[in-house]
Amino acid sequence: MSAILPADFADLEPLVPDWTPTTSAGRAARRSAAPAPALAAFHDAMAPRLDAALAWLDARPLADLDPAGRNLLGLCLMLAHVALAVETQGQDEPRHAIQREGMRITRTPADA
């Protein structure tokens, strides 16, 4: 059986099923659909690990990432969406979600 995440990040494995959409549109939709407590819990688990995760990812060519490495990248990309909701929007996140519905993400460089 292959690892879900690189060994140094095994503690984050419970996040993978719900927090690693494969596209930017999927990440945006997950952010919009998640209740505030779920966003905060993901943020609280992932944010302290971001520097280590980025260092791990920076040490490898993205094209060579195995599935565990791609999952780690997915968590980092999802954190970018969630951090905006938690750190910047805060209690205004539900109000801003309404406007996001009119701004559809179809494809980004992160989807390549």
pLDDT in tens, 88-101: 655 655 555 555 56
Mean per-residue pLDDT over the chain, rounded: 84
The angle that helices 67-83 and 24-33 make with each other, rounded to 10 degrees, is 50
State the pLDDT at residue 21: 92
Other Cβ atoms closer than 10 A to 105: 14
Of 70, 79, 58, the C-alpha closest to 5 is 70
Binning pLDDT at 50, 70 and 90, where does residue 38 land?
A: very high
State the pLDDT at residue 26: 87
State pLDDT tens for residues 40-52.
999 999 999 999 9
Output the pTM of the full model.
0.80
State pLDDT tens for residues 66-88.
999 999 999 999 999 898 777 66
Say how far apart CA 13 and CA 39 lie, in whole Å. Answer: 16
